[in-house]
Amino acid sequence: METLKEKKTEAKKPTSKKISGAEAIIHCLLAEGVDLIYGYPGGAIMPVYDELYKFQDKLTHILTRHEQGATHAAQGYARVSGRVGVAIATSGPGATNLVTGLADAQIDSTPMVCITGQVPRHLLGSDAFQETDIIGISTPVTKWNHQITKASEIPEVMAKAFYIAKSGRPGPVLIDITKNAQFDELDFVYEKCTGVRSYNPVPKPDMKAIEAAAELINIAKKPYIVWGQGIILGQAEKELTALIEKAGIPAAWTIMGESAIPTSHPLNVGMVGMHGNYGPNVLTNECDLLLAIGMRFDDRVTGSLDTYAKQAKVVHFEIDPAEINKNVTADVAVLGDSKETLALLLPLINENNHEAWHNEFKKKYQIEFDQVIKNDIHPTKEGLTMGEVIEEINIASKNKAVIVTDVGQHQMVACRYAKFEDSKSNITSGGLGTMGFALPAAIGAKMGAMDREVVAIIGDGGYQMTIQELGVIFQHQVPVKIVVLNNDHLGMVRQWQELFFERRYASTVMTNPDFVKIAEGYHIEAKRVSERKDLKATIQEMIASDKPYFLEVKVEKEDNVFPMIPSGASVSDIRLK
């Protein structure tokens, strides 16, 4: 006789049905809550696209104009929504075109699953048409990858892919699926992955380390926090705010951590790094305690490691053990998820204000304002500056916009001067520095947060690397706002040539097309501004529009970004001019 216990066990078993591998992939995506993917079809992935056609009511596919655009769009979607971005491509060149986006997502810890088609199993290794070893190619730039050659492998591998992509320190995963596995049938059963042997994505907090960190904070006279994207990924914005307010600690951010705390917060002292604020950089070498939270001591943040914060005790809060002592030796390492570890730390912290120490940051800010900021956002010269454009966008959007930047001078200016009230508002290519990132990433960001204003800030160089993605904006009427700051140069490279290569402008001058006409060719409303008298009204018109909008702003050709720490120099050697 069947027992009640056996009945309950039976009821919990997932039901199975016989379907093709291609259909199984779609069911896996739906089971993971995916409703939007970006991609480009081709022969080796065609069975999956045939199934996508049948599931259009449940799963939206956005045809990008290039596979790289698919990865950046998936990144933008993931960074704003907090969900896993998904991109899909065929074999060979389709797969290799994903590599830049994979590398970008890997170094910036963006959760993404990429699916590629592959030649049939029996042709692997034969140099068949459009066969490329994408597993070998992508291994260094993915958190995990795997090739599926049998249909029966699909459910387990797909579940594992999503788990790895979003757990712990997030990152990109690539799944390569042979064509025979897409056609063959399997008994489909799907169970979400909840763990992988030997993979410990979130280290258990060590209370002794947390207590040691609290002791250092409580005795410090000049404590200083530098936070990174780990705060945003860990959803620890409230915990970080509570810490800095309770202990009265000045706090600065890396560009990947920007927007976790409102720009207006009185203890938010600005940006660190090569083009960061004067005080946060210089005072790194004057603090007696440096709290690094969810950041990895990138070389663009530290400058010369030989002189970086040598006088300070260092406490490193980090989810990834590989980052501990990699660049900067920590006196105390607090492993774990930032939301959890900061919550455990808070009760152990004494209330304080460190007013005199905070005043040092205010004094340094005034120096920077008088020598740099004032001239950037309220210029007296005739030509338009990038800084004043960003300031007008702040005003028109009431500091509520998601700003998506490309890479170059405009990126550093936007990160310096954009004002944010909400987290997940600064979307940029940080670690890889990928030109061409912004336009497709802005498309993904808007689709991930349709209720938010999304403004892409792009240079004339990077814009032309993925300009074809205007087709996606036109076809789907994605209401993103595109601002191209055009100085007719590859501006950041030109700045280095001016400062360090005696103004030898080798291959940095650009003869650009009529960007307004190109946008109009895609039926996108477009305008050009070259005079200050037209700037404010045009930006207000752009922000007020509920449709896609393109704005080209002609800015100064030789307008440099300062402050600046020369490559390899100490953070104390930051230049104001």
Percent of the chain with pLDDT over 90: 94
**Choosing from 6, 129, 362, 363, which is the catalytic residue?**
129
Residue 129 catalytic? yes
Both 240 and 347 in one domain: the answer is: yes
| Nearest-angstrom CA–CA distance, 110 and 105 | 5
Is residue 9 in some structural domain?
no
- Specify the number of domains making up the chain: 3
214-229: b (≥16 Cβ within 10 Å) or e: bebbeebebbbbbbbb
The whole model's pTM is what? 0.95
Both 416 and 529 in one domain: the answer is: yes
**Range name among 40-44, 95-99, 464-468, 554-558 with the lowest pLDDT average:** 554-558
Both 140 and 211 in one domain: the answer is: no
User: Quick one: average pLDDT of 48-61?
Assistant: 97
Residue 130 catalytic? yes
Containing domain of residue 335, as a range? Answer: 207-361
Q: What pLDDT score was predicted for residue 13?
A: 55
Both 355 and 396 in one domain: the answer is: no
Average pLDDT, the chain: 96
- For 422, the enclosing helix (H) or strand (E) is none
Both 181 and 245 in one domain: the answer is: no
User: Quick one: average pLDDT of 42-62?
Assistant: 97
Q: What pLDDT score was predicted for residue 567?
A: 87
For residue range 283-318, what is the model confidence (pLDDT) as tens digits?
999 999 999 999 999 999 999 999 999 999 999 999
User: Quick one: average pLDDT of 312-335?
Assistant: 98
Residue 1 catalytic? no
Cβ atoms of 51 and 30 within 8 Å: the answer is no
For residue range 343-371, what is the model confidence (pLDDT) as tens digits?
999 999 999 999 999 999 999 999 999 99
- Strands (DSSP E) contained in 441-480 are 454-459
DSSP 27-89: HHHHHTT--EEEE---GGGHHHHHHHHHTTTT-EEEE-SSHHHHHHHHHHHHHHHSSPEEEEE
Both 183 and 211 in one domain: the answer is: no
For residue range 14-36, what is the model confidence (pLDDT) as tens digits?
667 899 999 999 999 999 999 99
Contacts of 421 (CB under 8 A, 6+ apart): 262, 263, 264, 399, 400
**Choosing from 274, 386, 492, 542, which is the catalytic residue?**
492
Beta bridge partners of 575: 564
The owner of tokens 């001016």 is 498
For residue range 523-562, what is the model confidence (pLDDT) as tens digits?
999 999 999 999 999 999 999 999 999 999 999 988 899 9
Both 127 and 211 in one domain: the answer is: no
Residue 118 catalytic? no
**Choosing from 160, 166, 179, 222, which is the catalytic residue?**
179
Pure H helices in 149-282: 154-166, 179-183, 207-219, 230-233, 237-247, 278-282
Q: What pLDDT score was predicted for residue 114?
A: 98
Q: Is 244 in a helix, a strand, or coil?
A: helix
Is 50 exceeded by the pLDDT of residue 475?
Answer: yes
* 314: CATH: 3.40.50.1220
Output the six-digit token pair for 175: 């799944």
Both 129 and 212 in one domain: the answer is: no
Q: What pLDDT score was predicted for residue 252?
A: 98
Contacts of 120 (CB under 8 A, 6+ apart): 178, 179, 180
* 133: CATH: 3.40.50.970
Output the six-digit token pair for 40: 């480009």
Residue 424 catalytic? no
**Choosing from 46, 55, 130, 235, which is the catalytic residue?**
130
Query: Could you give the strand order of the β-sheet that contains 172-178, starting from the edge strand earlier in sequence?
Result: 60-63, 36-39, 85-89, 112-118, 172-178, 144-148
Q: What pLDDT score was predicted for residue 423?
A: 98
- What does the DSSP 8-state code read for residue 468? G
Both 311 and 399 in one domain: the answer is: no
Both 105 and 156 in one domain: the answer is: yes
Q: What pLDDT score was predicted for residue 14?
A: 61
**Range name among 261-265, 343-347, 493-497, 547-551 with the lowest pLDDT average:** 493-497
Is 50 exceeded by the pLDDT of residue 11?
Answer: no
| Nearest-angstrom CA–CA distance, 489 and 480 | 25
Is residue 376 in some structural domain?
no
Is residue 572 in some structural domain?
no
- For 527, the enclosing helix (H) or strand (E) is strand 525-529
Is residue 347 in some structural domain?
yes
**Choosing from 67, 237, 239, 552, which is the catalytic residue?**
67
DSSP 270-326: EE-STTS-HHHHHGGGT-SEEEEES----HHHHS-GGGSSTTSEEEEEES-GGGTTT
For residue range 360-404, what is the model confidence (pLDDT) as tens digits?
999 999 999 999 999 999 999 899 999 999 999 999 999 999 999
| Nearest-angstrom CA–CA distance, 413 and 462 | 15
Is residue 386 in some structural domain?
yes
Phi-psi region of 273 (alpha: psi -120 to 50; beta: other; left: phi over 0): left
Q: What pLDDT score was predicted for residue 15?
A: 66
